[in-house]
Chains A and B, each alone.
Chain A
């Protein structure tokens, strides 16, 4: 791709790549707006949810996904954890000159496939080509619209003493996959990202545990960061149990070599849910019945203790502070 060189023809070519891939009746001409029927939306609930996120990832293609899939899942999951049914996405792509049309096609197809899986339509978008060095190959911004069903009220402040803490599966896969894909890490077998749209899993969770307090997708900063955010927002203490925290052996081993704590690794197909204790078992069953929740686990609970503090009961029986990191994981040992 050459920036500017192709003029309008080039611009059209690029737009066509995406329009062709996203093909759906509502898809607007890319420089126009999508129009949605209010009555149509109202059948799903009584509140609109709107979210936006920009996606930057190195490398663009990694085991288990690529930037396109990530851009759809990220926004779909942000809507879903808020209790919304995700319906429509927009997609804006910034492309560094030199990226091939074939590669663009690959990413566009990936986005389309993921959108289909997530039950959302990509209804509007934009593309820009910038000078070499002005961006790193490709940035994607997606915006999502969803609808929250009547009666669904989620918020961290609703967490209560004794509530259970659930995750829908093995933690840290995405972060480990990305690190493994970067440079020559000489891994035996690649670890795949868990990148997946979670609207279906979340719907069955809410169905099974209607009093679910709160959900969050533990992306950047991992479960440790999300738990700290929840503990802080709800002014409660949270304790998780190392022995039951689900981790893939490969991720555990990889983290041991790298010296990283998997609790801080990013996930792209996981939720942390806080559920009242009397609905915890149902919630767990509902998750485990879903293909994206087979290894779901109750990893901890809201406990009495200093508000805002997250601890982990270690396999040695001690309790370790799991803190919000200011920066990167840096050794604190002297």
Chain B
């Protein structure tokens, strides 16, 4: 941004928009202005921040440069507008009273402990030395402690803690790092940590700074400890202790899903993982997510931490409590969400975890809202959010140009990995990850968060957008809402929403011409009543044309075929033809031995709970089963695909992929039949599973690129958008991405919103808004 020279005598007013309230923005501007010797004032108002200055134009330009380049850690400047100012200004620089009553500060995401607070924590001369609830305007809890608006201390779970004089002084001092830090606390006035025994009537309790050490000693002895974190409980144990990790698996009733890890610093992580520069930035960002890293280091963790995978999910300590705890360990801790099986993480008193952990490291500040740990993965040199929660939500995403006047609306999201999305003032406010709505506690949470977001953002939808799937609980909820509130309902096809989400987060304008969306996904309800999931849609925000798809194959048993990959193998072999799955050929397909194939034949023949699906996820399942990976059952959604990727990652770099057949008609079918014959031949020749897995990934990616090239020749698009859950697979993603880039396409990908169903509500919101503005 450049501002033309103006007369030095003329005062200027700058309107700063973006995330500039409640993040220490005004004190930062105050310091910068003072250093530059400028006079004027900075204040909050209903729209953001107003900066009024007078002085040497080059110094004013320098101030603006510094604001843009070096804002406080949690601030984000979206835009600055300039005008002349003729009002009175002080002779020095001041932080002025907010206009329009108390600042209507927006709720921002929870932020990981900042460097300044971490330094205080470790400095014996500081009054917050070793205090587990240290925070300031640059860090600390936000969304997880808010209960209502306006966002100030009284409407958070910090309300019961009355500020001491010292904290009060910091809170009131405009130039202090804790100026209006709503969660400010110290040992004499703030929350207290304690260790409590779970599941006992008279729970023994140990408080104070000792608590963390007691918990650490227990963890070191091989115990599992529940730890009350920012947005929910964790279960913590020594990640290097194979016996404890196995016990945690048993108690948590989680067979195979990888456990998240926490390490003191990057050096510890590097002992187990390779970290590149982008991954390092992600790990140390204020969002401090779990980052999926390649498990390539001099040391190894027990297999039970992430069974069958070639990645480990690491995060750095996110709260002072975590830091004090992990500081005592030279090695990583498992830091998995505090829940049993598929329940949402516990946020109340931890008693629900008594079966798993005998003790909890807890505290007396309530968690108002569950906010799970976020997960990112670096692919094609960009950090990409796979689960968007702590650190990211509820930061708004700006909708592309053309959506400025979008009416307020509410998009309900999907069913698994559900999120919802509010549209307000041209922005999309995506909720934190909610989870699987079929779980009653998760559905309750979803509803609670919906009510919270509506109140936090003062939101009254004029329409509700849902997925077209008739059985999604989010769709049913949305339909019920439109009935009771007499609002219009817009239903959006699942994969159209995926494509629109990718368009929206990449700023593709409302009236841009159609581009090709390639959605490689699990399952979504298709417009022909079949199930879709491997789609090539020439789309804009308003609609789409289905140009190609993976060839539809039966899913014998419906949802059961998702849980049991061998079913997809069998259905795929049958669809590919000339595969007699008779006992004599079971040698090729061991996964089918002993399976009730005659019954499956009957089901497919009668169309009994055997819907046709053009799903890429199911193709992954089928190939995994062919290699004996999770053939009988997958323990969690996407396990077979994740393990197949891990196999492929261990293969030598090989150039040739299996060919898929691309048909010619109006609607192109991508048919894996030739691939199945090639896999059979490779199996017979004893080719390794790693190589087969890699050839599958590469062949699929090549075919996808080829389809895009063919379609572009006929339909003249230059842009391709990639979405769908299968693009969480790094090898597939990078192979497709590179192929399309080489073919000359502009490729849009997900980074801020998940490619999986966590991003669905954003796409629904964009499609819904486009329809309402038509």
Contact = CB atoms under 8 A, between A and B. Distances in A.
A183 interface: yes
B605 A184 contact: yes
Contacts of A318: 340-343, 439-441
Interface string B610-624: 010000010000000
Contact of A320 (B416, B417, B438, B757): B438
Contacts of A320: 438-440
Nearest to B605: A183
Contacts of B617: 334
Interface stretch (B96-104, B324-332, B469-477, B696-704): B469-477
A256 interface: yes
A311 B440 contact: yes
B547 to A, nearest CB: 22
B601 interface: yes
Given A186-B599, A187-B599, A331-B531, A256 B560 contact: yes
A314 B343 CA distance: 11
Interface string B232-254: 00000000000000000000010
Contact of A184 (B343, B521, B602): B602
B558 interface: yes
Contact of A317 (B340, B599, B603): B340
Contacts of A187: 599
Nearest to A317: B340
Interface residues of A, number: 33
B557 A258 contact: yes
B557 A257 contact: yes
Interface string B540-564: 0000000000000001111111100
Nearest to B757: A334
Contact of A330 (B341, B469, B608, B756): B469
A183 B440 contact: no
A329 B558 contact: yes
Contacts of B559: 259, 329, 331-333
Given A320-B440, A321-B437, A332-B438, A184 B476 contact: no
Given A317-B340, A320-B439, A331 B470 contact: no
Contacts of A328: 609
Given A318-B340, A320-B438, A330-B558, A257 B599 contact: yes
A326 B477 CA distance: 13
Contact of A327 (B341, B471, B473, B596): B471
Given A331-B559, A332-B416, A332-B469, A184 B340 contact: no
Interface string B416-449: 1100000000000000000001111101100000
Contacts of B414: 334
B440 A321 contact: yes
A184 B525 CA distance: 29
A248 interface: no
Interface in B252-270: 253
Contacts of B561: 259, 331
B599 A316 contact: no
A158 interface: no
B608 A319 contact: no
A325 interface: yes
B13 interface: no
B473 A321 contact: yes
Interface string B621-642: 0000000000000000100000
Interface in A149-198: 179, 182-187
A323 B440 contact: no
Contacts of A259: 556-561, 609
B535 interface: no
Contact of B602 (A183, A260, A321): A183
B725 interface: yes
A316 B342 contact: yes
A330 B439 CA distance: 17
A267 B559 CA distance: 23
B521 A334 contact: yes
Interface of A is mostly: loop
Contacts of B600: 257
Interface in A277-320: 306, 309, 311, 314, 316-320
Given A257-B596, A318-B439, A332 B415 contact: yes
Contacts of A329: 558-559, 609
Contacts of B340: 316-318
A329 B494 CA distance: 18
B465 interface: no
B434 to A, nearest CB: 14
A48 B236 CA distance: 66
Contact of B524 (A183, A306, A325, A334): A334
A177 to B, nearest CB: 14
A182 B606 contact: yes
Contacts of B525: 330
Nearest to B596: A257
Contacts of A331: 523, 531, 555, 558-559, 561-562, 611
Contact of A332 (B444, B471, B560, B606): B471
Nearest to B479: A326
A284 B548 CA distance: 58
A327 B522 CA distance: 21
Contact of A183 (B444, B473, B608, B756): B608
Contact of A334 (B522, B556, B560, B609): B522
B713 interface: no
B439 A323 contact: no
Nearest to A187: B599
Contacts of B609: 258-260, 328-329
B599 to A, nearest CB: 5
A309 B437 CA distance: 13
A321 B608 contact: no
A94 B73 CA distance: 78
A306 to B, nearest CB: 8
Given A330-B470, A332-B472, A333-B522, A316 B341 contact: yes
B598 interface: yes
Contact of A323 (B473, B522, B596, B756): B473
Nearest to A183: B606
A334 B415 contact: yes
Most buried by B among A258, A316, A333: A333
Contacts of B524: 334
Nearest to B342: A318
Interface in A113-142: none
B98 to A, nearest CB: 40
Nearest to B339: A318
A326 B475 CA distance: 11
Most buried by A among B343, B531, B555: B343
Interface string B516-536: 000001111100000100000
A185 B469 CA distance: 29
Most buried by B among A182, A185, A320: A185
B602 A323 contact: no
Nearest to B352: A317
Given A186-B599, A326-B471, A321 B557 contact: no
A183 B608 CA distance: 10
B558 A323 contact: no
Interface string B743-774: 00000000000001100000000000000000
Given A317-B343, A333-B415, 4 more contacts: A183-B608, A323-B473, A332-B472, A334-B415
10 contacts: A182-B608, A183-B602, A257-B596, A258-B557, A258-B603, A320-B439, A321-B440, A326-B476, A334-B415, A334-B522
Interface of B: 253, 340-343, 414-417, 437-441, 443-444, 469-473, 476, 494, 521-525, 531, 555-562, 596, 598-603, 605-606, 608-609, 611, 617, 637, 725, 756-757
The 7 closest A-B pairs by CB, nearest first: A259-B560, A259-B557, A186-B598, A319-B440, A331-B559, A334-B522, A326-B470
